[in-house]
A and B are shown apart, each in its own frame.
Chain A
């Protein structure tokens, strides 16, 4: 029932004259007129506003993609998603805090290291127990397996804690891990590209060699570049947020969802999580806004009187990379097929043998990691603040609804539309009206195109 927002109550009934089509035409004509008007008024300013819109739109698109991924699978609004963005931003801040003394000097906090370490240990233990253990338990001694799994989890937790306590040597400690990840990713992508119809051992050997070489090269490159710490901290931020998302699902939402009679219970529950996490971040790092160290230099590129920072260009490109990755994952892999099947009908998916709880948990981790990436990109651009998570969540929510909720293509489109509308909208009025404009757009869309620009199927 909840799947198609429009199907529930989408009828517009003020009068027969105001049909949806004529209103659409009117709105589009108005929008075009407005854009032409401001373009004619000041082309340079228009270019700058457009660039701003695309830059912020990329971040909204990123957040909306993760949001729509989670919502389109479990069909409830997870408000704690906003806290994941905050966690991402603050992990980067935490790892870079000792390089740049901001305000009160070192922000190192052993409690945070231990807490995050324990979290990662728990998540690793869960992953080993649900994925590896069922496959291996009939071949090896179970007690040995459990014990080694336990040791592995503790090691992973300890490693994470150690990592957090040594931000200066992130490139030496974490670089090899990233190298391994790159290698795995490369092998997987090559496998998709080369060997999908029929995998031969030669092709696999080529893939493995290329992948390993790439991984080793990455690790080496990171190790000899001290400036790589910032970029590594992005990965750590996304990973920690992912672990948090997974833990939240397995620890709370899974049980809440089994008993929930209405989507509102989940909404309020996740609101509680959002409040708690935001408050905890504020307690540890103070509620004030903080800057993050600038990546790729501060000097903006200028052309035709408008300017854009190198980082902002990167951030637009990266959004499209994530988008492409998600599309590949959702539409080219069996995992993606399972995700879509759960999104269409979880009961049926269960019946045909899809392990829904595990896949949903992975989706939560992935969504959280994407949210964290959005939080980091926003933080690098405009600084971080504990309450930014809520703002980003609402913007992502709006973008996802405008684009057509549950549809990954809609999310990226909605993000850019939202960014542009926000920026063009404040042409004549103070910039702080942006949020109000975003929600005005939302209400307009829900009233006339209640299923968004690109509805899910």
Chain B
């Protein structure tokens, strides 16, 4: 009896018939979800004032760069990586170390100064991340599924320890202070709005490049690797090369986010690059939708609003806000896995 009721629930019956409102809703659910999320976000941000909006957009743009780049690996290639925070950190530390100015230095005599401009340091950061990714990817290419996840867990922990203990370069737990804002042709991106625009510009670039990648034949091969690596190899594709390539591309994009984040905060320390950040990123990607670039943008926006929005809920003490967000995020992930494994707007199910 119960089985029967389940099979033909009113909602099912309503939506199954073509041509009615329900069917239209189902068909366009992705578009509608996108609209709803953006509308909600915009209303909330505007109600809190423009300063808040700028902050949220700025933060979500950085998270969006990370999420889009991670989605290339998780959603399109099927490699659930938790090591992304490492590349994020490499980008951040590269920019921080290379741009440090002696005048701002707080512990003199401990580190070499480079005093490079931001726009010269960022490509170097990307290059470093890319080279590291190439080596790490070589090791990773022999693991699959859950063992792959375990090894990337390990890589994230190792990366954090390197940031923490490679004192001559990273200055350990003390961190690097007074990181310069980017400037080009005498124009300095020092205002909040200017920096937001810069970040959005980079986001647009990253999304464009990602779109180029996933809409090429290369992107389709990646999805085939995700579906059945053994089968696609029989058709003449060397899956290892494809996986390494996307891994390196993704790492370089994460390094861009790292550089921007370091410059935006003007201060970094290893605590920003712990395993938890990687877990957040995976949550964003899954929340938004696997193998969907729009999904990653939405996921980042929802995530940042969730994080920032909880500050405005009165009855939660400030000290618990961080933990409260974590709890909500965890519950959200469980619910997603149970009810909507394809995320908000994705089509691919894990």
Contact = CB atoms under 8 A, between A and B. Distances in A.
Is there a contact between chains A and B in the complex with CB atoms less than 8 Å apart?
yes
Interface stretch (B105-113, B114-122, B138-146, B178-186): B138-146
A287 B317 CA distance: 14
B324 A279 contact: yes
A276 B337 CA distance: 14
B161 A283 contact: no
Nearest to A397: B150
A252 to B, nearest CB: 7
Contact of A274 (B146, B150, B325, B330): B330
Nearest to B145: A263
B157 A264 contact: no
A147 interface: no
A264 B329 contact: no
B158 A439 contact: yes
B338 interface: yes
A33 B320 CA distance: 50
A432 B151 contact: no
A5 B147 contact: yes
Interface in B76-113: 80
B143 A9 contact: yes
Q: Name the residue in A2, A261, A271 with the highest tally of chain B Cβ atoms < 10 Å from its Cβ.
A: A271
Nearest to B159: A436
Contacts of B127: none
Interface residues of B, number: 45
A20 interface: no
Interface stretch (A49-57, A369-377, A442-450): A442-450
Contact of B330 (A76, A261, A276, A447): A276
Contacts of B333: 268-269, 271-272, 275
B350 A265 contact: yes
Nearest to B143: A446
A439 B157 contact: yes
Given A269-B338, A272-B330, A283-B327, A443 B154 contact: yes
A433 B164 CA distance: 10
Contacts, number: 136
Contacts of B164: 432
A267 B146 contact: yes
Given A268-B337, A272-B333, A433-B161, A279 B327 contact: yes
Given A5-B147, A263-B145, A268 B350 contact: yes
Contacts of A275: 279, 326-327, 329-330, 333
A115 B246 CA distance: 46
A436 B286 CA distance: 28
A268 B286 contact: yes
A278 interface: yes
A252 B337 CA distance: 10
Q: Chain A at the B interface: mostly helix, strand, loop or mixed?
A: helix
A10 B144 CA distance: 11
A273 B149 contact: no
A432 B337 contact: no
A2 B145 contact: yes
A440 interface: yes
Q: Name the residue in A5, A262, A264 with the highest tally of chain B Cβ atoms < 10 Å from its Cβ.
A: A264
Nearest to B338: A256
Q: How large is the interface on A (under 10, 10 to 19, 20 to 34, 35 or more residues)?
A: 35 or more
Nearest to A400: B150
Given A269-B333, A401-B150, A435 B143 contact: no
B80 to A, nearest CB: 5
A267 B149 contact: yes
A331 B161 CA distance: 41
Contact of B323 (A264, A274, A282, A447): A282
A264 B349 contact: no
B324 A447 contact: no
Given A262-B350, A440-B158, A272 B334 contact: yes
A283 B350 contact: no
A268 B350 CA distance: 9
A436 B158 contact: yes
Given A2-B145, A252-B338, A264-B350, A442 B331 contact: no
B323 A279 contact: yes
B332 interface: yes
B221 interface: no
B154 A442 contact: yes
A271 B155 contact: no
Nearest to B167: A430
A9 B139 contact: no
B275 interface: yes
Contacts of B283: 272
B142 A432 contact: no
A390 interface: yes
Nearest 3 Cβ contacts at the A-B interface = A439-B154, A276-B330, A272-B333
Given A265-B350, A267-B80, A268-B333, 5 more contacts: A268-B286, A279-B327, A280-B327, A398-B154, A443-B154
12 contacts: A9-B144, A264-B145, A268-B350, A269-B334, A275-B279, A278-B330, A280-B327, A282-B323, A283-B320, A401-B150, A443-B154, A446-B142
